[in-house]
Amino acid sequence: MTIWKVIGWYVFAYPLAMSIIWISAGIYFGLRREKKRSEKDFQLSAEDWPSVTILVPCHNEEVNIAATSAALQFLDYPDYRVIFIDDASTDGTANVIRRFVEQNSNFHLLKLLENQGKANALNIAVSIAVATSITVVIDADTILLPDALKYLVYPYLKQPRLGAVTGNPISINRKNIIEKLQAAEFSSIIGLIKRSQRVLGRVLTVTGAITAYRTEILKEIGGFSPYTATEDIDITWRIQKNFYEVWFVPQAVGLIQSPATLKEYWKQRKRWALGGWHLLRTHKDIFKSWQWRYLYPIYIDFVLGYMWAFCFVFSTFLWIASYLFFPYSFGLSPIPAWYGAILSFVGVIQMTVAVFLNYSYDKNLWKELFWVPWYFIFFFAFGSLTVVWTAPKGLFGSLVGTGKWKSPKRFKKQKV
């Protein structure tokens, strides 16, 4: 068997195998662990619910912050306060926030005069402004549903070794094809992955858009790291390396906006890919201790995924080059053949399962089924390219300053 056949089979077999694992484990999670709690389950006295601080880091979020703030006024929770962290915004973000602070006694604004980056901004707020046992972090464009906070906090009443509870982000902008593809992704890829990882034991990453942390554990592990492009991945691993659990609770829904243009999508996925490289660099020490063995499968799977990206990109590039300049072609054809049809078919099954599991949270998700076969072509191409593109910087670049952020371009205001 030639090297190209080996690579070709790997490029085909790896996503197929992972999709089967995600589907089967996701179904198990849905049938055995995913319970839509009734009002009776939440019949606790106000004193039984711990006080919660919600942190909302912001940088040039004038377009979205009003909708986020409005939703935070109506959470079904007895004792919570909101701290907006304006990380040296240059637009009118702080002015919008001040209007809500004036109207709500539990809303507060922490304005930083110099841009610190998301991780440092959160650390400053945790150190000087958080006195509650639970700290919830949401993105500036996340709209929490009224019952989301109770779903995030309830597991802490049952599990003392719980370090983080991450919620279920649902993309609400679905007008153009980029947005529709991402709506399908958040449920059929990200949602199923988190369900399956909970079944298998460990979670790769919390969702930065909506996660609750035990405050004392945040302080114990040193807070969020500014030396990574994705602080949510890093904090997940440091929590689990300290032998605390991370749970995924799909009932805790947060409505989010996904990138609306190819340019913004590319920027976001480059940051995610770079954060993946930083994960591989900074947490490779798990193999030094048998105590961290439960993290081995996730790390190895992540390595296999990045290897897959290189195989896909370079074999496709060689096929195109040989097709154009040589009398015979070698490498891997990017034109879908029987293997592409099989992957698309499994993708439709995967999305159908995701629609079933997420139906009570997103009743319009089934409308995106049409885009699923196209999504995998889109996902494979862009996902792999970002991994290869960011490899030099991710492997050899300095980690200093990687936590600095730039909010994605917003095109219109949200409606609550």
Q: Which of 125, 80, 86 has its CA nearest to residue 106?
A: 80
pLDDT of 411 over the 60 cut: no
Per-residue pLDDT at 3: 77
Residue-wise pLDDT tens digits, 213-232: 999 999 999 999 999 999 99
| pLDDT band at residue 331 using 50, 70 and 90 as cut-offs | low
| pLDDT band at residue 55 using 50, 70 and 90 as cut-offs | very high
The least confident of 304-313, 329-338, 367-376 is 329-338
Radius of gyration for the alpha carbons in the chain, expressed in angstroms and rounded: 22
| pLDDT band at residue 413 using 50, 70 and 90 as cut-offs | very low
Per-residue pLDDT at 206: 94
Question: Is residue 182 within 8 Å of 194, Cβ to Cβ?
Answer: no
DSSP track, 340-399: HHHHHHHHHHHHHHHHHHHTTT-TTGGGGGGGHHHHHHHHHHHHHHHHHHHHHHHHHS--
Question: Which secondary structure element, helix H or strand E, spans residue 262, and what is its range?
Answer: helix 262-282
pLDDT of 332 over the 70 cut: no
pLDDT of 143 over the 70 cut: yes
Residue-wise pLDDT tens digits, 255-278: 998 888 989 989 999 999 999 999
**205 is written with which tokens?**
């990453």
Question: Is residue 68 within 8 Å of 416, Cβ to Cβ?
Answer: no
364 vs 388, higher pLDDT: 388
**367 is written with which tokens?**
């409308």
Per-residue pLDDT at 15: 87
pLDDT of 409 over the 80 cut: no
pLDDT of 163 over the 70 cut: yes
Average pLDDT of the chain is 87
The least confident of 53-62, 301-310, 350-359 is 350-359
pLDDT of 62 over the 70 cut: yes
In this prediction, what percent of the chain has a pLDDT beyond 90?
A: 58
Q: What is the mean pLDDT of residues 336-362?
A: 80
Q: What is the mean pLDDT of residues 133-154?
A: 95
Per-residue pLDDT at 334: 60
Q: What is the mean pLDDT of residues 341-348?
A: 80
Residue-wise pLDDT tens digits, 284-313: 999 999 999 999 999 999 999 999 999 888
What letters, b where the CB count within 10 A reaches 16 and e where it falls short, cover 324-345? eeeeeeebbebeeeebbeebbe
Q: Which residues contact 160 (CB under 8 A, 6 or more apart)?
A: none
Cα–Cα dist 184/234, whole Å: 26
Residue-wise pLDDT tens digits, 82-122: 999 999 999 999 999 999 999 999 999 999 999 899 999 99
Question: Is residue 280 within 8 Å of 242, Cβ to Cβ?
Answer: no
315 Rama sector, left if φ>0, alpha if ψ -120 to 50, beta otherwise: alpha
Predicted TM-score (pTM) of the model is: 0.90
Q: Hey, which bits of 215-292 come out as E strands?
A: 245-256
Count of C-beta atoms within a 10 Å radius of residue 108: 16
Per-residue pLDDT at 410: 55
- With tokens 């007008």, the residue in question is 175
Question: Is residue 69 within 8 Å of 86, Cβ to Cβ?
Answer: no
Q: Which of 114, 116, 140 has its CA nearest to residue 226?
A: 116
Question: Is residue 404 within 8 Å of 117, Cβ to Cβ?
Answer: yes
pLDDT of 366 over the 60 cut: yes
Per-residue pLDDT at 276: 95
Question: Which secondary structure element, helix H or strand E, spans residue 8, and what is its range?
Answer: helix 3-32
**187 is written with which tokens?**
């449920």
Cα–Cα dist 112/2, whole Å: 58
